[in-house]
Chains A and B, each alone.
Chain A
Amino acid sequence: RKEVEQDPGPFNVPEGATVAFNCTYSNSASQSFFWYRQDCRKEPKLLMSVYSSGNEDGRFTAQLNRASQYISLLIRDSKLSDSATYLCRTGNQFYFGTGTSLTVIP
């Protein structure tokens, strides 16, 4: 099993919708988690770090479920500018998931 797994999507949602992605991880000892955003042909940039149960930043919420070993990213009131690929990583390794593609449609 891979260290980190993500649903590749694509997720196509209308503007204003709420969308959630999950990222499952295999190492139960993981203590920190990261969501990155990657725009087409650009480098990944940190969106959110999670060191406890979750984190919230404006329209973005990350929730950690240790029992089921996944971390979710919730985006509320989706904007066209949220269209990107979202990558997750656990803190005990340098390995990333394959990323989830989101397209927000007008």
Chain B
Amino acid sequence: NAGVTQTPKFQVLKTGQSMTLQCAQDMNHEYMSWYRQDPGMGLRLIHYSVGAGITDQGEVPNGYNVSRSTTEDFPLRLLSAAPSQTSVYFCASSYQGNSREQYFGPGTRLTVT
């Protein structure tokens, strides 16, 4: 199993550009989530999904969109990048929801100039 994979590993965007961060898992996990991590802020939940076709907002959803058309994939879209979105983004998945351990992808380091 590859586990949770994320692409790209690094990305530099200009303010106003859009892009999609990809996340895929091959463990047939129902739950997937996106976090951003900034220095001193820990992991902050952006959006999460409890299954294909179902998504919900986390703590910091503004500026981000998600969709979940398949169990395996959970892409995160930045509609109009801003410097405040410079961060490290982690995708995670878990079986049977938040009462079980999550498995994280390696992260995407995004810089918005």
A interface list, Cβ under 8 A from B = 6, 8, 31-32, 34, 42-46, 49, 87, 89, 91-99
In chain B, positions 84-110 with a C-beta closer than 8 Å to chain A are 90, 98-107
**On chain B, which size bracket covers the interface?**
20 to 34
Q: Which residues of A contact B58 (CB under 8 A)?
A: 94-95
**With contacts A31-B99, A43-B104, A96-B45 known, what are 16 further pairs, Cβ within 8 A?**
A8-B40, A32-B99, A34-B101, A34-B102, A42-B107, A43-B90, A44-B43, A44-B104, A87-B42, A91-B98, A94-B48, A94-B58, A95-B59, A96-B35, A97-B42, A98-B42
Interface contacts (Cβ under 8 Å), in number, total 50
Q: Which residues of B contact A96 (CB under 8 A)?
A: 35, 42-43, 45
